[in-house]
Amino acid sequence: MAYLTLRKLNKRYGATVAVEDIDLEVAAGEFVALLGPSGCGKTTTLRMIAGFVPPTSGEIRLGDADVTHLPAHRRNVGLVFQNYALFPHMTVRANIEFGLKAHHVDSAQTRERVRSVLALVGLSSQEDRYPRELSGGQQQRVALARVLALKPDLLLFDEPLSNLDAKLRVQMRQEIRRLQREVGVTALFVTHDQEEAMTMADRIVVLDRGRIAQIGSPAEIYDRPRTRFVANFIGTSNFFEGVFLPGSPLGIFRCASGLEISIPPEIVAASASAATLAIRPEKIEFVNAKAPGSLPGAIRQATQLGSTMEYLVELGSGDRVIVHEQKRPRVPVRAAGEHVRIAWHPADCVFLQSEKERSDDRV
Amino acid sequence: MQSWPAKPPRSLAPWALLAPNLLLLLLCLAGPLLLLGRVSLMGYEAGHGMIPVWQLSNYSKFFFDPFYRAILWGTFLLGAEVTALCLLLGFPLAFALSRARGLKRAILYFCILMPLLTSTVVRTFGWMILLGNNGFINHTLLRFHLIASPLRLMYNVTGVIIALGEVLLPFMVLSIDTSLLNINPSYYEAARNLGARGPRIFFRITLPHALPGIVSGCVLVFTGTLSAFVTPTLIAGARIKVMSTIIYQQAMALLDWPFGSAIAFTLLLAILILFAATLHFSERRRAS
Amino acid sequence: MRFLLRVLNGAILLYLAAPIFVVVATAFGSSAYPIFPPQHFTLQWFHQFWGNPELRDALRISALLGSVSTLLATSIGTLSALALVRYRLPGKTAISALLLSPILFPAVVLALALLVAFQRVGLTQTFTGLVAAHTLLITPFVIRLVMASLAEFDPSLEEAAQNLGATWSRTFFRVTLPLALPGILAGAVFAFIMSFDELVVTLLLAGPQLQTLPIRIFNYVQYSSDPSISAISTCLIVAWLAIGIPVYTRFLSVKHL
């Protein structure tokens, strides 16, 4: 059953469109990431759900209830702010009690809930401290405990990890996911960090300029991006523009540069004549000269990425292709200028919806 | 369930919050100033008081009578002199203040602010003790035979400039300090990195950035001098007249409110024009 | 060069401090008129000032006037500062300029305008009239300090309160107001000092029954010289420093005052 439902949600500021026709259903207990660059409308969407921004049109439903016009303080939706927004003049305990008092929870139950959420986030000994006396990670936990104490129907996260250092961020990802599973609460997590979205979410909603570009599991989003925007925003991709010529058993994709790529016809979505083809750099491998269908080229640039090497290969056709190769024992690192042959499995190619098609399905 | 808006309606709430203040300004500022303007156009006759006519003779008297014209120019000249003194003394102090950090800045800042916490009457009283014919300054100079007879420092313009300069100096220092603090320290590093040396850095970076602060400081000191009442009254007594002291005299001693109002309105206009000009200057600077 | 600048600044600071220092020093001198440097140490002038019913009366009037005006100005100014910082308003710059304008007008001009206006409604020489005038003059100080403290205030705290279920009023009284309190207190302290020290407007409006301390000092200084004026001035200087220093140290990071 869909727990949170957004239906044709729109937000305009004068002539500028911040959010356009967002349709989304989040199931109970699901963890969904709203992913996109700054200005894509993800925070506006979140703030509309929290009740801080009135939508221009559309509907927000929590379970069976329409909450579109409910004031913020009457939605049982917990929001964890980017800067935590802990009340600086209150202790950890008072911060957590604040919401319980606003909801007129009796004092015995208040004590019990404060105790249990503090135990849940592992801060039982810190309840008399003030926020400024806590580390960033601890403040984050208090912010989480503060909303969890209210047993919210829905948890919203507004880039909550962006103020933490890299190591702590990775740790908090697992921590937040653990807590969310333990409590069984539905969660919507706004982030611009693709890695965060990939590692944490059950499903990812990619937003591009106020609209949903794609919804899917992390694997779907990565392996089967639907648009060039998604393929580009999440990970790295090589793009080829060209036309598809059907044949059997493999069709031919002919690029503007004259390069021809073999493609299994079943992966072509429509009978698109003009299209964009994407291939991930790690799906490309270096092969020896005898391999059929391989393409000759020369390495123009070799870059260290740590456990991986990134090569920029210029093909005979003039196309430049990025190749990622895992460093392995006894495999020497290649140098710029080296002549190579590259190949990939035709099934790893992805056809992308062109921007034109995207604007077509608006109608 | 009772419906209670999360915030009061957006459009009305700020106006409701502003209402008491706006009412106060209407009753105690706008109304009285309008009335002042009206009174400045009335006539006056000793013994009869104000005569409710519409006329400009109060203004023409102030601008064309040589006695009052001298006071007008005298007031502006005093303003220029005090401003020059404050700029001369204020810049080095502001420079040091803006460079100081931590406790040193706190102490320096406090020394400059402290006079602002002390009433003008008290500070002027201090100057009276120092500047008199038997005051500390003359006493000291005479004792070391630096002068043969006491310098006249009280009851003349020199004394007023010395005392007013001290009274208004903090405003100059604080506004220059504010603009100097706005200079990104990496400008200095970049300039030094590009090979610029002390004087060049000062004239090409420090001074241009300090300019808005210098301008606003000068305006504050100049208008402060034009408005000053306590210090000229106490230091110069009846000898030196400035606009604010004759406004007081007309209003309280001679009871010629229409003429006093005309001078007051002129002073007000002069100050508003100055502020408007500064605002224009800073807007243009921001635009460019 | 650096040394020269240091000497110059020392001299300028001396110039700034000189009158205050002299007033304090003469309060303890034994001669019958204030002379610097003081000859022999005595506390008699403090006794004399305390024994002077005129001055004690003036002190009482000033304290009462300051307290009532400060209370009014702090309430009015805090509300205005909230409106200016927390809400989107058309013509906000113009409104804030208008609200702060009373400090820009020459005191004599305002004094005469108020005198002319209050004469018509019978408010001259009344306590109410003085309170109205002082409230007008000191409200801008409250607005400035409260605005400065609210500007550092993170608006997401109010959203967090609402998100946790707090109504508008609960948010205001439990979150906004407590966090703005230091600024409000600083504004009140400043406003009180400004009201207590105000001379010019009070001089024109007060009349013989409402002679405040600054008026008394002004008249004494003008017509006679008596170290008990130094004594009372010293008391004021010390009092203002005692309540001013905590406020300043808190707002030292605030550039504008």
User: Which two structure tokens, joined as six digits, stand for A24?
Assistant: 């989304």
Predicted pLDDT at A46: 95
Please name the helix (run of DSSP H) or strand (run of DSSP E) that holds residue C78, with its range, or none: helix C53-86
Of A73, A79, A87, the CB nearest to C167: A73
Predicted pLDDT at C47: 87
Q: Which residue has the higher pLDDT, B285 or C137?
A: C137
For residue range B110-129, list pLDDT tens digits in order: 888 888 888 899 999 999 98
Q: What are phi and psi of C223, to 5 degrees?
A: -110, -20
Average pLDDT over residues A46-74: 92
Of C164, C175, C179, the CB nearest to A146: C164
Which residues from A are below 8 Å from B5, CB to CB?
71
Predicted pLDDT at A272: 56
User: Which two structure tokens, joined as six digits, stand for A215?
Assistant: 């919804």
State the complex-level ipTM: 0.89
CA distance B267 to B248: 13
CA distance A203 to A196: 12
**A208 CB contacts (<8 Å, ≥6 apart)?**
A36, A40, A227, A229, A230, A233
Is the predicted pLDDT of residue B135 greater than 60, yes or no?
A: yes
Predicted pLDDT at A283: 92
Pick left, alpha or beta for residue C224 (phi over 0 → left; psi -120 to 50 → alpha; otherwise beta). Answer: beta
Is the predicted pLDDT of residue B3 greater than 60, yes or no?
A: no
- Determine contact, residues B219/B274, Cβ cutoff 8 Å: yes
Of B1, B4, B6, the CB nearest to A51: B6
Predicted pLDDT at A202: 96
For residue range C49-72, list pLDDT tens digits in order: 888 898 899 999 999 999 999 999
Q: Exposed, middle or buried by CB within 10 Å (0-12, 13-18, 19+), for B188?
A: middle
**Residue B72: which pLDDT band, with cuts at 50, 70 and 90?**
very high
Q: Work out the mean pLDDT of chain A and round it to a whole number.
A: 88
Q: How far is B181 from chain A (nearest CA, A)?
A: 27
Is the predicted pLDDT of residue C40 greater than 70, yes or no?
A: yes
Q: Work out the mean pLDDT of chain C and round it to a whole number.
A: 89
CA distance B53 to A33: 77
For residue range A212-232, list pLDDT tens digits in order: 999 999 999 999 998 889 998
User: Which two structure tokens, joined as six digits, stand for B9?
Assistant: 């309606």
Is the predicted pLDDT of residue A201 greater than 80, yes or no?
A: yes
Is the predicted pLDDT of residue B6 greater than 80, yes or no?
A: no
Of C154, C166, C179, the CB nearest to A102: C166
Predicted pLDDT at C153: 83
Of B14, B92, B136, the CB nearest to C5: B92
Q: How far is C88 from chain A (nearest CA, A)?
A: 14
Q: List the single residue in B with minimal CA-CA distance to C164.
A: B6
Which residues from B are below 8 Å from A74, CB to CB?
1, 6
Predicted pLDDT at C248: 67
Is any Cβ of chain A less than 8 angstroms from the Cβ of C161? yes
Neighbour subunits, B (≥3 Cβ pairs < 8 A): A, C
Q: List the single residue in C with minimal CA-CA distance to B6.
A: C168
Is any Cβ of chain C less than 8 angstroms from the Cβ of A74? yes
Predicted pLDDT at C39: 81
Predicted pLDDT at B38: 94
CB–CB contact C16 B251 (8 Å): no
Average pLDDT over residues A133-162: 92
Predicted pLDDT at A139: 94
CA distance B121 to B177: 26
CA distance B196 to B2: 70
Which residues from A are below 8 Å from C178, CB to CB?
89
- A301 - beta bridge partners? A312
The per-residue DSSP string of C180-231 comes to HHHHHHHHHHHHHHHHHH--HHHHHH--GGG--HHHHHHHHHHH---HHHHH
Q: Which residue has the higher pLDDT, B5 or A253?
A: A253
CB–CB contact C221 B39 (8 Å): no
Q: Work out the mean pLDDT of chain B and round it to a whole number.
A: 88
Which pairing describes strands A308-315 and A320-326: parallel, antiparallel, or unpaired? antiparallel
For residue range B188-216, list pLDDT tens digits in order: 888 888 877 778 888 888 888 899 899 99
Which residues from B are below 8 Å from A51, CB to CB?
6
**Residue B278: which pLDDT band, with cuts at 50, 70 and 90?**
confident
For residue range C73-128, list pLDDT tens digits in order: 999 999 999 999 888 888 888 899 999 999 889 999 999 999 999 999 999 999 99
Task: Pick the residue of A47, A73, A79 with the most B CBs within 10 A to test the interface with B by mutation.
Answer: A73
Predicted pLDDT at C228: 87
For residue range C228-240, list pLDDT tens digits in order: 889 999 999 999 8
CB–CB contact A150 C175 (8 Å): no
Is any Cβ of chain A less than 8 angstroms from the Cβ of C179? yes
CA distance A308 to A312: 13
Is the predicted pLDDT of residue A14 greater than 90, yes or no?
A: no
Q: List the single residue in A with minimal CA-CA distance to B6.
A: A71
Predicted pLDDT at C3: 87
Is the predicted pLDDT of residue C253 greater than 60, yes or no?
A: no
For residue range C120-139, list pLDDT tens digits in order: 999 999 999 999 999 999 99
Which residues from C are below 8 Å from A150, CB to CB?
164-165
